[in-house]
A = this chain, B = another copy of it.
């Protein structure tokens, strides 16, 4: 069976993305994860451009990666220098990797305007650098930068640069769509053209500027490429590199190319989210295969049909990529979707449960008032517990007051006072904040922490406001969604009111109650085990 080698450049090209920087420690964590997953090559950095990358190459050796080979990246020697004395080439060798990836120019425009050298010298630079590094025993991957643009401008010259690398011994020749603007059918034609002339294995390095990053990689493979470069989650300059998280399941599940085995493919979603977490990027909920919405189904009838025959609505089984089906409890909720939602959340509710109609009635009433439980599983769980009369509140509110004052000089003061009762004891306190909701949040936590210290573990990770009937102007109803997290879980809660303070209050209270309910369940489970 035809194989394809996966080459990850998250740690090098991925860091060209706006807003992404990795510490050395981050890079090591990602490298270990890529190795576990079974990526064949990890491009660790560009030692000639970033001297501190040398440190990464030193440390990564200690990880003793089992499946991945580490590659150092660098350019061909400079024009007019001797390759053995070229600083970039020296640094490449210092990295001490088995694999080196060398990029060279294929586009006359760059030879002339950026390198400012002659077409002949550029070809010699490629040949010399590849031959020299091959002589040092390296596996050599040659990246033909701007190849497709170069080919469109001057196909003969672009091809000459590839042949120079091939003749000098390059193990793989990678065609790069560096500006990301090539459309797929044309790209396939050009790959065919190259394969008629070049016998070395061909790779593809695509970018997403025309929205074709993944498509171009897949099409190049169809046209014979056996090496695919990309980044996790498509990080990269401008619109990003080709997204390996999208490419891999297309290759394995749709084209039958076993570049990753099935058990490891089932960790694809985990890989994607892990790297987002390290990069501090919010995961793309709509991402193909791994997004939280990728297998989410709205609507009652539809939800029912999905359960009966998932193939009718899902292009692949979500578990194949470690994702999960989600039935959204939305406007069109029926019994089936409430039941499935409850099952997803591992709530003890059966399809025939006599309490199901009561839960459904509450959900429908709240939804008609503007509540939405798609992103508020915490509130949904509480709602079910309340409808089943299994929930007793953790505190009673005696009252709160929030105020914002703006003075003549522009000073703003936001303050909240709150009084709560827990088991017969009162707590009356006050706090300031960056705004009225923040002040109320601070006051609520301050009031409850003496009774429930674990509230301090809760972080508010996200706060969203949506105006429901915008035409009512400032008297419009708003929906507030809060996402909270502690060390082990994340949960969403929701509130709706004409009054943004009240809507926020509902979501904040649910967040706290959910946390305390969750902790109680866990404590009971532990005690149960102990017996």
Q: Does A272 contact B (CB under 8 A)?
A: no
Taking CB atoms, residues of chain B closer than 8 Å to A212 are 214-215, 218
Query: Judging by beta carbons under 8 Å apart, are A502 and B402 in contact?
Result: no
Q: Which of B26, B185, B209, B414 contacts A288 (CB 8 A)?
A: B209
Query: Judging by beta carbons under 8 Å apart, are A397 and B408 in contact?
Result: yes
What distance in Å separates the Cβ of A310 from its nearest Cβ neighbour in chain B? 10
Taking CB atoms, residues of chain B closer than 8 Å to A469 are 23
Q: Which of B26, B309, B502 contacts A109 (CB 8 A)?
A: B309
Query: Judging by beta carbons under 8 Å apart, are A404 and B210 in contact?
Result: no
Q: Does A87 contact B (CB under 8 A)?
A: no
Q: Does A488 contact B (CB under 8 A)?
A: no
Q: Does A501 contact B (CB under 8 A)?
A: yes
A397 to B467, alpha carbons, bound, how many Å? 27
Question: Can you identify 8 A-B contacts, CB atoms within 8 angstroms?
Answer: A18-B296, A183-B218, A183-B254, A183-B255, A210-B246, A282-B471, A412-B502, A438-B474
Query: Judging by beta carbons under 8 Å apart, are B250 and A436 in contact?
Result: no
Q: Does A258 contact B (CB under 8 A)?
A: no
A432-443 interface code vs B (CB 8 A; 1 in, 0 out) = 011111101100
Query: Judging by beta carbons under 8 Å apart, are B500 and A500 in contact?
Result: yes
Query: Judging by beta carbons under 8 Å apart, are A467 and B470 in contact?
Result: no
Query: Beyond the given A183-B218, A465-B467, could you list 10 further A-B residue pairs with CB under 8 A, ordered by the A residue number?
Result: A18-B328, A109-B309, A210-B214, A401-B406, A434-B474, A461-B470, A463-B473, A465-B465, A470-B483, A500-B500
Query: Judging by beta carbons under 8 Å apart, are A501 and B435 in contact?
Result: yes
**This chain's copy number in the assembly:** 2
Give the interface of A toward B (CB within 8 A): 16-19, 23, 25-26, 107, 109-110, 113-114, 146, 179-181, 183-185, 188, 208-215, 218-219, 222, 234, 237-240, 243, 246-247, 250, 254-255, 280, 282, 284-289, 291-298, 305, 308-309, 311-316, 328, 374-375, 397-408, 412, 414, 433-438, 440-441, 459-476, 478, 482-483, 497-502, 504-505, 508
What distance in Å separates the Cβ of A471 from its nearest Cβ neighbour in chain B? 5
Query: Judging by beta carbons under 8 Å apart, are B209 and A294 in contact?
Result: yes
The answer to whether A113 and B308 touch (CB under 8 A), given A211-B214, A404-B401, is: yes
Q: A16, A305, A328, A475: which has the most chain B beta carbons within 10 Å?
A: A475
A1 to B441, alpha carbons, bound, how many Å? 61
Taking CB atoms, residues of chain B closer than 8 Å to A463 are 467, 470, 472-474, 476
A243 to B288, alpha carbons, bound, how many Å? 14
A125 to B112, alpha carbons, bound, how many Å? 64
Query: Judging by beta carbons under 8 Å apart, are B288 and A208 in contact?
Result: yes
